[in-house]
Structures are given as C-alpha cells and as structure tokens.
Structure 1
Amino acid sequence: MIDFQKNTVFKLSPAKVDNLAPEVAPILIQGEQVLLAFKAVRDYVVFTTKRLIAVNVQGVTGKKKDYTSLPYSKIQAFSIETAGTFDLDAELDLWFSGLGSVRLEFRGGANIRQIGQLIAAHAL
C-alpha cells in the first residue's frame, strides 16, 4: 500500500501499456482501460480511464502484489513539475480527499504534461 506519511512513490520510467495491462486486468471494472503505464525495477503504476493503480511487487518470487487504487474522483488538487537541465526527474503530486498526498517521480523519458492533461481531464 502507498504510505501517505512517506509520500514519494517509485522512480518510474515509461513502459508499454500492452506489457502491464494484463497484470491489472483482473481488477479493472467493465469498460475501464489502461491508458498509460510506468515501471520501476519491480513495481509499476498504470493510469486507467477511472483511476491510478500503483502495484507494489513483494517477496522474492514477486507473486505477492499489493494493488493501491486511487480514483481520479477523489483528487482534490494536483501539481506537475517538469524535468530540468540538471534535475532530470519530473514529478506529479496528487492530493486525495481524506487520504493525504502522493508524489510520483518519473525519469526523464516521461511526458509529464500528458500525465497532467490526463489527470485534469478526469479530475476536473
């Protein structure tokens, strides 16, 4: 589960939706689709048409997984920070009603503006 007290999650790089969509397919609702996918070493985050799903892969074998579902409808505010010349990571900060905040850090190849537009389209 995402720790809302220590709110930074992962260092994410863009991943192919086709590779990660089958991993979360069993928990998607009817009509929900994976739009974007990002992966750390073992953990990953997908953005769907309804929510953000963070998957924490646990244990030596990786069979145990924790799925944290964060619905766009619960986002009260969000902020994006683009990568710079020396700071190559982009960041997405999300504030959730009743939960707290989460920061997702993305490596240089992520299109943070596209992610911001996706959040805006679903949360506003």
Structure 2
Amino acid sequence: MIDFQKNSVFKLSPARTESVAPEVAPLIIPGEQIVFCFKTVRDFVVFTTKRLIAVNVQGMTGKKKDFTTLPYSKIQAFSIETAGTFDLDAELDLWFSGLGNVRLEFRGGADVRQIAHLIAMQAL
C-alpha cells in the first residue's frame, strides 16, 4: 500500500470506525484510541492517538493483509493541501525519519485540517 520508493498516492474516503476497528484491534495498545478511518476499495488507513496504521488487503480473497505502522514520533515534517472548488481532493504529505515521504490523497468529505491538528498534537 505504501511504497516508500515511489511516493504512492491512493485516494481515501472517510469510513466508519466500526467497519475497520476489528481489523486493527489486535494492534492497538493500552491508552491508544482510533480517531479517524479512511478507505479505498479494499485498503484502509487508521489514524490513532499514537500512529498511522495503513492496511493493504492482498490477494483475490483479501484474507492476506499487510499492516504498516507509522508512529507520529518519527514525523519530521508534514503538509496539507485542502480541497478547492474544482479540485475536490485533499492531500497530506508526511516526511518520516529514515523512511522518506508518504503522500495520502483524500476524496471530498475529509477535513485534512483535523488530521493535521491530530498530527501536530502528537508530533510537535
């Protein structure tokens, strides 16, 4: 899902927490809470109070999944681009220490300012 060599971009739409929480529940540590969830057709991204969890659903059946955890403490910089009148997509760029850049593109309906606020509260 996240290709650190190619700066992969994938379009995410807001999702209900209940639809993805069971998948990431085994990864959640005490005191950590899910804040935002976004999905593509099969893949999804979860923003918690401590990290970003990207889940790549693989194969025809979707039983195989790749979980990538990106802790906010490793973020060196980030930027957002909000949606406009004609360009309804918003973007979030994150630069991680030792990993490089990760870009997430959100379809209309996602308030990237709220995501930026969460990241700022945890990373700064």
TM-score bracket for this pair, using the shorter chain length? over 0.9
| Partner of residue 68, structure 1 | 68
**Is 1:13 equivalent to 2:13 in the alignment?**
yes
**What is the CA–CA distance in structure 1 between the aligned matches of 2:98 and 2:58, rounded to whole Å?**
26
Identity over aligned pairs, percent: 80
Please give the secondary structure, in 2, of the residue aligned with 1:91.
strand
After TM superposition, give the deviation of residue 6 of structure 1 in Å: 1.2
Structure 1 spans left out of the alignment, 5+ residues:
none
After TM superposition, give the deviation of residue 29 of structure 1 in Å: 1.4
State the Cα deviation string for residues 42-95 of structure 1 (Å, max 9, x = none). Answer: 000000111000000000000000000000000000000001111111000000
| Partner of residue 33, structure 2 | 33
**What is the CA–CA distance in structure 2 between the aligned matches of 1:122 and 1:18, rounded to whole Å?**
24
Please give the secondary structure, in 2, of the residue aligned with 1:119.
helix
After TM superposition, give the deviation of residue 99 of structure 1 in Å: 0.5
| Partner of residue 97, structure 1 | 97
**What is the CA–CA distance in structure 1 between the aligned matches of 2:35 and 2:9, rounded to whole Å?**
19
Give the root-mean-square deviation of aligned CA atoms: 0.9
Q: Relative to structure 2, which stretch is displaced further, 1-10 or 45-54?
A: 1-10
After TM superposition, give the deviation of residue 9 of structure 1 in Å: 3.3
TM-score by length of 1: 0.96
After TM superposition, give the deviation of residue 116 of structure 1 in Å: 0.7
| Partner of residue 87, structure 1 | 87
Please give the secondary structure, in 2, of the residue aligned with 1:26.
helix
TM-score by length of 2: 0.96
After TM superposition, give the deviation of residue 111 of structure 1 in Å: 0.8
| Counterpart amino acid of residue 73 in structure 2 | S
After TM superposition, give the deviation of residue 8 of structure 1 in Å: 2.5
The alignment covers a number of residue pairs equal to: 124
Q: Relative to structure 2, which stretch is displaced further, 44-53 or 25-34?
A: 25-34
- Runs of 4 or more consecutive aligned structure 1 residues displaced over 2 Å after TM superposition: none
Please give the secondary structure, in 1, of the residue aligned with 2:9.
strand
| Partner of residue 111, structure 1 | 111
